[in-house]
Amino acid sequence: MPPQIYHLIAFLVAAVVVLWTTPDVKNIGIKSGRVDQPGDRKVHQHPMVRLGGVSIFAGTIISLIIVWRLGGFANLPTEKEWQILGVTLGGLGFFLIGLADDLLNLSPLARLLMQVIVAVGAWKAGVSIDFISIPTIGIVDLDWLSLPITVVWLVGMVNAINWIDGLDGLAAGVSGIAAVVMLVVSLFMRQPAAALIAAALAGAALGFLRYNFNPAQIFMGDGGSYFMGFTLAAVGVIGLVKIPAFTAVLLPYLILAVPIVDMSVVILARLCRGKLPWAADKRHLHHRLLNAGLSHRLTVLFIYSLTLWVGSLALAIAGIPSGITYACGATSLLSYATWRVWKLSRQS
């Protein structure tokens, strides 16, 4: 069987499982009363089930198990096996933290402590940033700095994806686009195992959009956003950061630039105002676009175009054939979207 078939199977199985199970998860949530009530910072007007992450997690894991049984992960070196195990168990850990928060409403400090513990476990299993590659200097071994830098990256991305999950379809779409780009780049960089995980996550995220795009029928909740955030960050580590090339190390940060920049700007703004970094407000990019007069859907589509644009830049930097062509096309799309945003904001 050609290796690329496994990636197609991973994508399709994950998407089918999510499409199949999400209505059942929604019904269970309604019957159990596990719904997200409308509020000052929330856009939805009616109570919504927020357990969609159960389907996203199930779709991804079932897909990977099937691919593993078919031989998609065969002949991996021991080091890679540990990394795949670290991504899988770490994803489970972050999913359970998020699910517990969805069900029990944990405090921010309790969530952060548990996130750090799971991230340390993933680092121990080999999901670790061990070096950085600097132009003109070469490879710099991080030594003891590997642990804190890895934990900050993993926990940071978990919360970055969680924080952009403020509009119907936003986090699922951004994560799905980023996962597809990571799939393509990982394959080009000859990292098939990382690409399989990216393919499964892409299928789950994009399949979930069937029920989550505006008007949403169900939310993914913290369980879904935590799981997707960690998996994207971990795939970036095992598939790209461990390659001793400056461009490879740079790619995960570029692919995930939209949630990273959004979170960084919001945290800086809160600190400058003397507030805690996790103090909720309406300073995220999607809030600003809504305040500028954009519709719910156009706001989401504009952020999709941003994510697609940085992803296309990653393809070009990675040296993928026709990568520059993709980047030019995405730049044209973003330019049109930006013009539309400017025009609508002037009219409001």
Residue 270 has pLDDT above 90, yes or no: no
Nearest to 179 by CA among 268, 68, 243, 259: 259
Per DSSP, what are the bridge partners of residue 48?
36
**pLDDT score for 40:** 58
β-strands 48-49, 35-36: how paired?
antiparallel
Q: What pLDDT, on the 0 to 100 scale, is given for residue 241?
A: 76
Write down the residue that tokens 């070196």 correspond to: 77
**pLDDT value at position 42?**
57
pLDDT of residue 245: 66
Q: pLDDT digit string (tens) for 90-134?
A: 999 999 999 999 999 899 999 999 999 999 999 999 999 988 777
In contact, 83 and 196? CB cutoff 8 Å:
no
Q: What pLDDT, on the 0 to 100 scale, is given for residue 141?
A: 84
The answer to whether 174 and 166 are in contact (CB under 8 A) is no
> pTM above 0.75?
yes
Greater confidence (61 vs 282) lies with 61
DSSP string, 100-124: HHHHH---HHHHHHHHHHHHHHHHH
Q: What is the dihedral of CA 269, 271, 275, 278, to 10 degrees?
A: 80
* pLDDT value of position 118: 97
Select, from the ranges 155-159, 213-217, 273-277, the one with the highest average predicted confidence (pLDDT): 155-159
Higher pLDDT, 20 or 139: 20
pLDDT tens digits, one per residue of 34-78: 777 665 555 556 678 999 999 999 999 999 999 999 988 887 787
Is the pLDDT at 326 greater than 80? The verdict is yes
pLDDT greater at residue 76 or residue 11 = 11
Q: What is the pLDDT of residue 44?
A: 54
Which two three-digit tokens encode residue 252? Answer: 């995960």
The 10s digit of each residue's pLDDT in 135-183 is 667 778 888 899 999 999 999 999 999 999 989 999 999 999 999 999 9
Give me the residues paired with residue 36 across strands. 48
Which pLDDT does position 343 carry in this prediction? Answer: 85
